Amino acid sequence: MRYKRSSALFAEAQKFIPGGVNSPVRAFKAVGGDPIFVKEAKGAYLYDEDGNRLIDYIASWGPLILGHAYEPVINAVIEKAKKGTSFGMPTEIETQLAELAVSMVPNIDKIRFVNSGTEACMSAVRLARGYTGKDKVIKFAGCYHGHSDSFLIQAGSGAVTFGTPNSPGVTQGTARDTLLAKYNNLESVKSLAVANKGEIAAVIIEPIAGNMGCIIPEESFIKGLRELCTQEGILLIFDEVMTGFRLAKGGAQEVLGIDADIVTFGKVIGGGLPVGAFAARDEIMGYLAPDGPVYQAGTLSGNPLAMSAGLAMLTELNKNPNVFRSLADKTAYLGAGLAKVLSENNIPFQKNRFGSMMSIHFTDEPVVDFESAVKGNNDKFKKYFHGMLREGVYLPPSAFESYFLNDALTYEDLDATIAALSNIVDDLK
């Protein structure tokens, strides 16, 4: 494979865009080398600026669950664009997407659309604070809820990849209102609840974590969290930006059998266009402007192109919920195949998978939280990433990210990916 043109485009981009990218993990800093510039994509494949074809395991970091350039989505956007791209006035399609999302997800009455997962989580916390009249929020080390100030405290994803889980620019005052607990450790939450009794508005969690690699919540932990929040009058916010419309129609609430108080969405709900959303029961959503006092707004919120992509995407998933099973099966198959190659070659690793979320950490200790996730061997990860890339497989360029499979992937693609690992596994010894 040659990456001449990608490298030239990256050099040019660096002149005008900080680090050459508009979102840090794209720059390949964690794995080294120049990022690949994509030209187009179709189904399971990316085609880069040098003419290479790559099997894609990122799918735009999750949204493209049915593959790239999925026709019903593309056609819906094209038709909508012909009628105008933005009005800043209500449109019928917003209600159509809202009604469909509310029918698919348990335990929500109303949903508000925003433009990103970051906005969704930021607004959800403001709503929780407004509703409860309390200021503090508990988050878990290694969870990522977007880049708004109150969440850049021991954050996962790019923040940890770049060694800045606590970003400069977040004030001490903001940081003080964010309390930090350990994933899969209910005691750590309980002691914060005791020490800050009556002051905590919300606990926000990735119900299946995907931003320190994939980490699965223990049943007693997630159930205990729900009970604790109910007892203490704390709102439980499920950040379903990754899990929503990916694990099941009803997301993690459905698969875990747990009702959250507020749920946030992003990625799949926008079908590849910029959409985020947050949703809850009427009682809580009634606090939001214009009905209630908690302010939240957006010039492009509910944008018709974004809504049309989201509506086409959710309509497909609603019609064909077998997709979730199919994706989970493919992920299990891939995971088992990769694990077999690594085990046969005596390479220490942990494979965590839940549905169609998966990650591989190069460590021999179970990865159950942030502390165990950062113990992974990054040198091995780099070799793994670049080896697979040479073989035409595009994996997440950091161990702190989940793979996102899309349903356009065939079993031949998965076999080719497993074969690619066999070809490069000697580099990992």
- Which residues are marked as active site? 144, 239, 267
Mark 51-80 with x for binding to ligand PMP (rule: CB under 6 A) and - for no binding.
----------x-------------------
> Of the two residues 167 and 196, which places its CB atom closer to ligand PMP in the complex?
167
> Of the two residues 241 and 367, which places its CB atom closer to ligand PMP in the complex?
241
Instruction: Give the range of 98-106, 111-119, 164-172, 377-385 binding ligand PMP by CB under 6 A.
Output: 111-119
Least CB distance from residue 81 to ligand PMP, whole Å? 22
Q: Give the span between the Cα atoms of 374 and 143, in whole angstroms.
A: 13
Instruction: Check binding of 266 to ligand PMP (CB under 6 A).
Output: yes
> Of the two residues 80 and 145, which places its CB atom closer to ligand PMP in the complex?
145
> Of the two residues 157 and 331, which places its CB atom closer to ligand PMP in the complex?
157
Closest CA to 275 of 239, 299, 302: 302
Least CB distance from residue 277 to ligand PMP, whole Å? 11
With CB under 6 A as the contact rule, the residue among 118, 303, 372, 377 that binds ligand PMP is: 118
Least CB distance from residue 42 to ligand PMP, whole Å? 23
Interior/surface letters 212-248, b for 16+ CB within 10 angstroms, e for the rest: bbbbbbeeebbeebbebbeebebbbbbbbbbbbbbbb
The answer to whether the peptide bond before residue 290 is cis (omega within 30 degrees of 0) is yes
Tokens 């994706």 found at: 327
Contact 306, 341 (CB under 8 A): no
- CB-based contacts of 186, cutoff 8 Å, min separation 6: 220, 221, 224, 225, 228
Least CB distance from residue 156 to ligand PMP, whole Å? 8
Instruction: Give the range of 78-86, 117-125, 131-139, 417-425 binding ligand PMP by CB under 6 A.
Output: 117-125
End-to-end Cα distance, the chain:
23
Q: Retrieve residue 428's tokens.
A: 């990992």
Instruction: Check binding of 206 to ligand PMP (CB under 6 A).
Output: yes
Instruction: Check binding of 404 to ligand PMP (CB under 6 A).
Output: no
> Of the two residues 6 and 398, which places its CB atom closer to ligand PMP in the complex?
398
- CB-based contacts of 94, cutoff 8 Å, min separation 6: 113, 302, 307
With CB under 6 A as the contact rule, the residue among 9, 41, 97, 116 that binds ligand PMP is: 116
Least CB distance from residue 429 to ligand PMP, whole Å? 32
Tokens 């939280």 found at: 369
Closest CA to 293 of 109, 79, 127, 425: 127
Least CB distance from residue 67 to ligand PMP, whole Å? 19
Q: Retrieve residue 25's tokens.
A: 């993990």
Instruction: Check binding of 273 to ligand PMP (CB under 6 A).
Output: no
Closest CA to 127 of 282, 288, 302: 288
Instruction: Give the range of 4-12, 110-118, 255-263, 406-414 binding ligand PMP by CB under 6 A.
Output: 110-118
Instruction: Give the range of 37-45, 116-124, 134-142, 286-294 binding ligand PMP by CB under 6 A.
Output: 116-124
* Subset of 219-248 contacting ligand PMP (CB under 6 A): 239, 241-242
Instruction: Check binding of 124 to ligand PMP (CB under 6 A).
Output: no
Least CB distance from residue 198 to ligand PMP, whole Å? 28
With CB under 6 A as the contact rule, the residue among 132, 154, 184, 211 that binds ligand PMP is: 211
Count of residues touching ligand PMP (by CB under 6 A): 17
Least CB distance from residue 242 to ligand PMP, whole Å? 4
- Nearest residue to the partner ligand PMP, using Cβ: 117
> Of the two residues 385 and 404, which places its CB atom closer to ligand PMP in the complex?
404
Least CB distance from residue 121 to ligand PMP, whole Å? 5
* Subset of 132-191 contacting ligand PMP (CB under 6 A): 144-146, 157
> Of the two residues 272 and 276, which places its CB atom closer to ligand PMP in the complex?
276
Residues that bind ligand PMP (CB under 6 A): 61, 116-118, 121, 144-146, 157, 206, 210-211, 239, 241-242, 266, 276
